[in-house]
C-alpha cells in the first residue's frame, strides 16, 4: 500500500473499480483500497439492472464484451394492479438494440478487476477504510485497525456507504424481497414493472427465468419469507397477475430495507463520494447502480482533463458537483415520485394513475422522454 497517490479510491466494488479503470490511462497514480481480502468473492450476491447508457460506459472501458451472463431487456411493460391503463416501451422505438440488461453483480465485479490486473492501477485488498477527511491540499484516509494514513490529491469514497455519513431523506417503510423465479410462460427480453398499493413489484429477464423485486411492508415481507416455495409462488401469482401464466419455481429469497438517502457532504476539498456512498435510491425503475456508474465516469473525465495541481481542488470538485447535480436530483425525484404516487391505495388516485398510464401510451414524445431518461439519466451520453 502506498502512502500517497494522485487518486485513492476507497471501495473496490463495481463503481470504484469502474472509476479506477476509467483513470488507468490518465497518467495519474491510482490506488484502490478494498476491504475484501479475496476479490474472487463478491461483496454482494445479487443481480444488477443496467441501462443501455451503462452498457455504453462499460463498452468504453473495454469490459462489456467480456460479460457472459447478460439478459437483454428490449421491452418494458408498466401497469397498475386493479386498474386499467398500461404503458409499453420498446427498444426499436428508441432506435437502440436494447433498453437495458440484467447482469450478475459478482461477474461484473470480477470482469472489472480482471481488466485492472494488467494495468498501472494498484489494487490493495484487505484495506478497510475506517475514516476519511480532507486537509490542506490533500484528502486522507485511515486504513485498518492500525489507522495507517493514506493521502491523495483526490480521495474518492466508493464504499457503498459502509463507512457511514449518509442522511435518511425518506424511510419508505418498505422492504424489498429479492428472488429468482421461473414463470410458467417465459417472455424473453421483457421486463415488467407493476405498481400496487403495497409497493411496486418488478420482473426482469434473467437466464431461463426472472429476477424478482417485490416490495412490501416489513411485516408482509417477513411473512413471504416464511412461506413454503409452493405457497410463495401462489402468493406471487395472486399479487402479480396472469401476464406470465403463474410461476413454477423460486430460489434465493432475501430482503433489505428501502430508504432514500444521500451524503451530507458529497464534496469536500480533495474528497468526493460517489455511487451508493453519495446517494441511495428506491429500486423502482432500476436507477441506482446506473446513477453511480455515471458518477464514476464523469469524475474520471474531469480528473483526466485537469492539471495535476488542480486535481481534487475545490474548483475541480465544484465543476463535478455542478455537472452531476441535475442527473442526481432528477433520478432521486423520479424514483421517489414513482413510489409516493403509485403506493397510495386511494381509489380516486388509482383511477387517475390508470388514466395517466393510458395517456402515456398514446403520447410517443412523452414516452420517448421517459425512455431516454431511464437509459441515459438527465444528461445525454
- 129-141, pLDDT tens digit by residue? 999 999 889 999 9
133 and 235 assigned to the same domain: no
Query: Quick one: 273 and 325 in the same domain?
Result: yes
Looking at the DSSP bridge assignments, the partners of residue 206 are 209
Contact yes or no for 248/233 (Cβ under 8 A): yes
State the pLDDT at residue 257: 94
* Residue 164, pLDDT score: 62
Helix (H) or strand (E) run with residue 149 in it: strand 148-157
The predicted structure's pLDDT at residue 163 = 58
Boundary-marking domain end, from 226, 243, 259: 259
- What are the beta bridge partners of residue 154? 7
How confident is the model at residue 235, as a pLDDT?
Answer: 96
User: Where does a domain end: 213, 239, 259?
Assistant: 259
Look up residue 212 and give its three cell numbers.
Answer: 424478482
> Looking at the structure, do residues 141 and 30 belong to the same domain, yes or no?
yes
Give the DSSP letter string of 6-21: EEEEE--SHHHHHHHH
How many structural domains is the chain composed of? 2
314 in Cβ contact with 357 (< 8 Å): no
So what's the pLDDT on residue 79? 87
Distance CA 240, CA 196 (A): 9
Same domain, 157 and 57: yes
Q: Which domain holds residue 229?
A: 171-259
Please indicate, yes or no, whether residues 197 and 305 belong to a single structural domain of this protein: no
**Residue 128, Cβ density class (10 Å: 0-12 exposed, 13-18 middle, ≥19 buried):** middle
Residues of the chain under the 70 pLDDT cut: 43, 161-164, 344-351, 379-381
Domain assignment of residue 362, yes or no: no
Q: Are residues 194 and 55 in the same domain?
A: no
Q: For 335-381, what is each residue's pLDDT tens digit? A: 988 888 777 666 666 667 777 787 788 888 988 988 988 899 876 44
Q: Identify the CATH number of the domain in which residue 130 sits.
A: 3.50.50.60
CA distance 139 to 313: 10
* 183: CATH: 3.30.9.10
In this structure, the answer to whether residues 283 and 247 fall within a common structural domain is: no
What's residue 379's pLDDT? 65
Considering the domain architecture, whether residues 163 and 175 belong to the same structural domain is answered as no
Q: Are residues 59 and 139 in the same domain?
A: yes
One domain, residues 266 and 248? no
Give yes or no: residues 323 and 288 share one domain: yes
Distances in Å between the Cα of 149 and the Cα atoms of 1, 97, 139, 353 are 10, 47, 10, 54
Amino acid at each position: 500500500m502506498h502512502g500517497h497517490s494522485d487518486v485513492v479510491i476507497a471501495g473496490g466494488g463495481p463503481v470504484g473499480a469502474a472509476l479506477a479503470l476509467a483513470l488507468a490511462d490518465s497518467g495519474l497514480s491510482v490506488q484502490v483500497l478494498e476491504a475484501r481480502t479475496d476479490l474472487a468473492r463478491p461483496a454482494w450476491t445479487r443481480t444488477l439492472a443496467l441501462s443501455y447508457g451503462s452498457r455504453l460506459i462499460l463498452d468504453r472501458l473495454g469490459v462489456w464484451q467480456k460479460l457472459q451472463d447478460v439478459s437483454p431487456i428490449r421491452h418494458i411493460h408498466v401497469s397498475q394492479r386493479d386498474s386499467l391503463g398500461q404503458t409499453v416501451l420498446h427498444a426499436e422505438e428508441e432506435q437502440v438494440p436494447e433498453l437495458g440488461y440484467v447482469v450478475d453483480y459478482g461477474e461484473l465485479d470480477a470482469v472489472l478487476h480482471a481488466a485492472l490486473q494488467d494495468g498501472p492501477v494498484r489494487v490493495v485488498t484487505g484495506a478497510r477504510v475506517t475514516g476519511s477527511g480532507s486537509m490542506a491540499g490533500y484528502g486522507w484516509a485511515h486504513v485498518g485497525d492500525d489507522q495507517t494514513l493514506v493521502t491523495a490529491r483526490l480521495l474518492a469514497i466508493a464504499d457503498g456507504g459502509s463507512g457511514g455519513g449518509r442522511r435518511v431523506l425518506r424511510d419508505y417503510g418498505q422492504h424489498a424481497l429479492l428472488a429468482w423465479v421461473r414463470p410458467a410462460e417465459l417472455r424473453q427480453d421483457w421486463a415488467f414493472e407493476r405498481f400496487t398499493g403495497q409497493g411496486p413489484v418488478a420482473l426482469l429477464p434473467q437466464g431461463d427465468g426472472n429476477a424478482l423485486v417485490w416490495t412490501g411492508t416489513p411485516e408482509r415481507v417477513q411473512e413471504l419469507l416464511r412461506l413454503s416455495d409452493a405457497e410463495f409462488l401462489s402468493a406471487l401469482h395472486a399479487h402479480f397477475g396472469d401476464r406470465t401464466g403463474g410461476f413454477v419455481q423460486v430460489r434465493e429469497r432475501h430482503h433489505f430495507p428501502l430508504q432514500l438517502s444521500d451524503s451530507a457532504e458529497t464534496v469536500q476539498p480533495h474528497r468526493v463520494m460517489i455511487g451508493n456512498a453519495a446517494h441511495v435510491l428506491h429500486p423502482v425503475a432500476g436507477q441506482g447502480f446506473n446513477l453511480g456508474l455515471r458518477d464514476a465516469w464523469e469524475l474520471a473525465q474531469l480528473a483526466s482533463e485537469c492539471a495535476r495541481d488542480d486535481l481534487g481542488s475545490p474548483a475541480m470538485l465544484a465543476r463535478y458537483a455542478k455537472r452531476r447535480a441535475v442527473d442526481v436530483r432528477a433520478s432521486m425525484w423520479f424514483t421517489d415520485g414513482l413510489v409516493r404516487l403509485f403506493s397510495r391505495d386511494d381509489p380516486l388516485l388509482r383511477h387517475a394513475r390508470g388514466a395517466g398510464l393510458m395517456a402515456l401510451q398514446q403520447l410517443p414524445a412523452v414516452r420517448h422522454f421517459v425512455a431516454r431518461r431511464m437509459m441515459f439519466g438527465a444528461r445525454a451520453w
